[in-house]
Amino acid sequence: MKKENMKKENIDNLTSLWTLTGTAFDAYQSVYGFETVNIGFSE
């Protein structure tokens, strides 16, 4: 039972990390947009 709880906790941590990364990426895109990506490729 203890092992299953640890496993669920790890999954929850991964999910929250994934959500945090996605939120940070969305914020980055909303601030900088896709223009920085295009500039990077054109140089």
Kindly tell me if the per-residue pLDDT of 35 is higher than 80.
no
Kindly tell me if the per-residue pLDDT of 37 is higher than 80.
no
* Total tally of structural domains belonging to the chain: 1
Two structure tokens written together for 29: 């895109």
Mean pLDDT of 16-39: 79
Domain range for residue 15? 2-42
The pLDDT value given to residue 1: 60
Q: Is the pTM of this model over 0.85?
A: no
Kindly tell me if the per-residue pLDDT of 9 is higher than 70.
yes
Q: Which of 8, 28, 15 is nearest to 37 (CA)?
A: 28
What is the rounded distance in angstroms from the CA atom of residue 32 to the CA atom of residue 2? 45
How much is the CA Rg of the chain, to the nearest whole Å?
17
Fill in the DSSP letter of residue 43.
Answer: -
